[in-house]
Chains A and B, each alone.
Chain A
């Protein structure tokens, strides 16, 4: 579908909703108040799409003034992209879409009184609340790995200062060192990303520190895109990347920050640079607001993305139990649009149609070798199920892969413009 067509359809739907909304507003007490907690991909998308509707008043609560995208941040780690090129301000959302942005964090939610309390003391009342807190880390699961340890052995799983720290460490590492990546158990943000990271850091090592090695200590026995990655590692970085499944190491038990080593059941591995990606759970506000079930994630209705635990509160993005949808930025964006339309439909009394949900991702194996996937999803029996899928194959020609890498760059600019406004 071309950009033109998509905008045309968006305009038509927006128009139709407005037409229905107008009489309601004349009768009602004014504009519906929507509060969105979290200005990442999911939160920014909900705010942007509801902000487009003039009958709705949108407030976005986000402590940071900028968002640095996790996707493409492995290119930054490899020295192939600047962090500035991955950084987006929220001002276009404020100026272009009339969204009120409050730089603060939510500390409490009152689902009965329909109010959010912010760290700064402000209380915001809402008609509908959207929570998009992303992921938090289960710091206790690897002994010795906490927030302080992350300043020495970075996770770099939330892009920004952590990415900069890891990049500095890789740059100052001596040639011949071992870069250890501890890959997390499922489910976690962006399933192929630890392995994309290994690929792109290998690309950096190959050029600047060719005697160095990469050791992946995995909490799993298999991983997303494994065949594609292993094929690429043997073609581009022979002998450089070693992947050890959990069944071999007995999984990671602890880290020794002072020795910069990673302790598994069977052996202790010394690292020149260690990247510890911990197990994950829904972002912390989800826990405080009672949105999380025993799995550590937020169960939602797959049509409206309303919490099944707290009516009136919607949750989108990495923190939800997304069924077949992976925890990815594109999934968050797709869920956020479905959520925005569900909220608009409910406020205007329009019928609710089942959403079309998508994921589209690009993963770099080398600067001119990328693979892609494209999936469609639909709600079925209370959960989100895959409808159709495409994924790149092993054995594609270098030309196909080069084109895919080129498409990825276009995908990035179109996608971030959709989320944060402005741009192309």
Chain B
């Protein structure tokens, strides 16, 4: 149904040992599987069911999402800047599709 569009907001550079904020959003309908279409047929569930963030290859944040989460799920969390590295973000959808983004962070 939807063509999900993922997006993150992360500072370009952070000072070492400083806490920084990560914001992540994905345009997604989060179809609950509990609705019917105009013909009375159940619209199958299709939600983003998991979000993972890795920092330098190491998993640093993970959350499972469920039907009650709103459309366009928005997440905000904090990480500690340890070293230069790649932040990888991935959203997993029902049916197995994943949507990913990465962001290289400079630690000064």
In the bound assembly, the distance between CA atoms of A243 and B27 in angstroms comes to 7
Interface presence of B7 (CB below 8 A): yes
Determine whether A231 belongs to the interface, using a CB cutoff of 8 Å to chain B: yes
A226 — which chain B residues lie within 8 A by C-beta?
Answer: 71
* Cβ B29 vs Cβ A248 within 8 A: no
CB of B19 within 8 A of chain A?
Answer: no
* B74 touching A245, Cβ below 8 Å: yes
Binds B, one of A181-189, A234-242, A372-380: A234-242
B27 close to A242 (CB less than 8 A): yes
CB within 8 Å for A247 and B2 given contacts A242-B7, A395-B38? no
Q: How far is the CA of A249 from the CA of B76 in the complex (A)?
A: 11
- Determine how close the nearest CB of chain B comes to the CB of A302; give it in whole angstroms: 34
| A238/B2 in contact, CB under 8 A | yes
Q: Which residues, 53 to 82 on B, are CB-close (under 8 Å) to A?
A: 71-72, 74, 76
By a CB distance below 8 angstroms, the chain A residues around B71 are: 226-227, 230
User: Which listed residue, B1, B38, B39, B74, touches A248 by the CB 8 Å rule?
Assistant: B74
Task: Decide if B38 touches A239 in the complex (CB within 8 Å).
Answer: no
Interchain CA distance A400-B41 in the complex, whole Å: 17
B23 at the A/B interface (Cβ < 8 Å)?
yes
Q: Report Cα–Cα, A15/B7, bound state, in Å.
A: 63
Among A243-271, those with CB < 8 Å from B are: 243-245, 247-249, 266-267
* B35 within 8 A of partner (CB): yes
By a CB distance below 8 angstroms, the chain A residues around B37 are: 395
B interface size (C-beta, 8 A): 19
Residue of B nearest to A264 (CB): B9
Beta-carbon contacts under 8 Å, A190-241 to B = 226-227, 230-231, 234-235, 238-239, 241
Judging by beta carbons under 8 Å apart, are A248 and B9 in contact? yes
Contacts of A230 in B (CB 8 A): 2, 29, 71-72
Contact with A along B1-44 (1 / 0, CB 8 A): 11101010100000000000001010101000001111100000
A327 and B5 CA atoms in complex are apart in Å by 32
Closest residue of chain B to A238 (Cβ to Cβ) is B3
Given A231-B29, A395-B36, A395-B37, A248-B2 contact (CB < 8 Å): no
Cα A97 to Cα B16 in complex, Å, equals: 75
| Interchain CA distance A227-B72 in the complex, whole Å | 11
B29 and A234 contact, CB distance less than 8 A = yes
Given A231-B29, A248-B74, A267-B9, also A397-B38 (CB < 8 A):
yes
State the CA gap A267–B39 with chains docked (Å). 44
A249 and B25 CA atoms in complex are apart in Å by 10
Q: Are A242 and B35 in contact (CB under 8 A)?
A: no
Taking a contact as CB atoms under 8 Å apart, the answer to whether A234 and B7 are in contact is no
Cross-chain pairs A/B with CB under 8 angstroms, 29 sampled: A230-B2, A230-B71, A231-B29, A234-B3, A235-B1, A238-B3, A239-B5, A242-B5, A242-B27, A243-B27, A243-B72, A244-B25, A245-B74, A247-B74, A247-B76, A248-B7, A248-B9, A248-B23, A248-B25, A248-B74, A249-B9, A266-B23, A395-B35, A395-B36, A395-B37, A396-B38, A397-B38, A397-B39, A400-B38
Chain B residues within 8 Å of A, Cβ to Cβ: 1-3, 5, 7, 9, 23, 25, 27, 29, 35-39, 71-72, 74, 76
Residues of A within 8 A of B (CB): 226-227, 230-231, 234-235, 238-239, 241-245, 247-249, 266-267, 394-397, 400
15 other A-B residue contacts (CB within 8 Å) besides A230-B72, A243-B27: A226-B71, A230-B2, A231-B29, A234-B2, A234-B3, A238-B3, A239-B3, A243-B72, A244-B25, A248-B9, A249-B9, A395-B35, A395-B38, A396-B38, A397-B39
